[in-house]
Amino acid sequence: MTNIYRLAKDCADFMSANITKQKNRIHSGNLIFTDYDILGDLKQWETMLQNLCAAMSQRYPLMSQYLSDCMRKFDEEPIVYFSSISAIIECVLSLEKESTGKRVFISHSSKDKQYVTDFVNHILCLGIGLSPDDIFCTSIEDMTMRNGEDIRMHIQENIRSAEYSFLLISNNYKASEVCVNEMGAVWAYEANVRLFLLPNTDFTSIGWLCDTRKADKLTDSVALDRLYKEMVEYFSLKENLIHWSQQREMFVGRVRV
């Protein structure tokens, strides 16, 4: 499940358990009007909706904006905007539930397997704290497709659903038609894309691959620290700077050998 799906599910469950609609009958002369109050922990609900709105902003910008507008106008007509918010959440759940992809996609050349394995182990998993189940990487057996699956469809699904995509670029990467195609697909979906240059690779040697995107050296500790901060915050992970520094230095040392 993606972060967006979990947040939307939490909102839906909270609404079901903690938010109620109270029907009011308003007498005006010989006429009776019906009105509704929305009751419950509205402050907590609002906080949860704000978190969902922020998570949706890149993948579903129009729905995110509409959700924000409904929250802002909620006090004007609570029952109307309560219904609109409920509909948005149901729509998000429907869209996200269809996805079976993982949260992180790594595009790389199979010839660079050792660098990729060290990056996944020391940086993403042991350092940042991501679960291996959240990572799609064709060079690592437990992080790729199962027997019998269509590799092209599986890669496409994981690119589409990824919240972070990494392009680990080398001369091997540039020479691979599959890798270049993956790069084009990753850019098309505009997730959080990060480019890293492997050892013995520079901007001159890869030419047009980085004309429109900024890339960092895989051994750049400052860039890795920046990545750590971004991903810990994005995925709401527990921060442990001492452990991170140890894993980062271990990784940089292995890559430089």
Mean pLDDT, 10 residues at a time, the chain of 257 residues:
79 92 72 74 93 88 93 88 91 73 83 93 95 82 43 60 85 83 73 84 63 77 95 88 96 87
CA atoms within 13 A on the CB side of 229: 6
Q: What is the dihedral of CA 233, 239, 241, 246, to 10 degrees?
A: -100
Give, rounded to a whole angstrom, the gap between the first and last alpha carbons of the chain: 37
pLDDT for residue 151:
45
pLDDT for residue 140:
65
| 8 A C-beta contact, residue 45 and residue 18 | yes
pLDDT for residue 99:
53
Hey, which residues does 106 pair with through a beta bridge? Answer: 166
Residue 137: Cβ within 10 Å count: 25
pLDDT for residue 201:
81
Q: Residues 183-222: pLDDT tens digits?
A: 777 777 666 888 899 988 876 666 655 554 578 899 999 9
pLDDT for residue 150:
42
SS3 of the chain: the string is: CCHHHHHHHHHHHHHHHHEEEEEEEEEECCEEEEEEEEEECHHHHHHHHHHHHHHHCCCCHHHHHHHHHHHHHCCCCHHHHHHHHHHHHHHHHHHHHCCCCCCEEEECCHHHHHHHHHHHHHHHHHHHCCCHHHEECCCCHHHCCCCCCCHHHHHHHHHHHCCEEEEEECHHHHHCHHHHHHHHHHHHHCCEEEEEECCCCCHHHHHHHHCCCCEEECCCHHHHHHHHHHHHHHCCCCCCHHHHHHHHHHHHHHHHC
| Overall pTM > 0.75 | no
The tokens describing 203, both together, are 């901007």
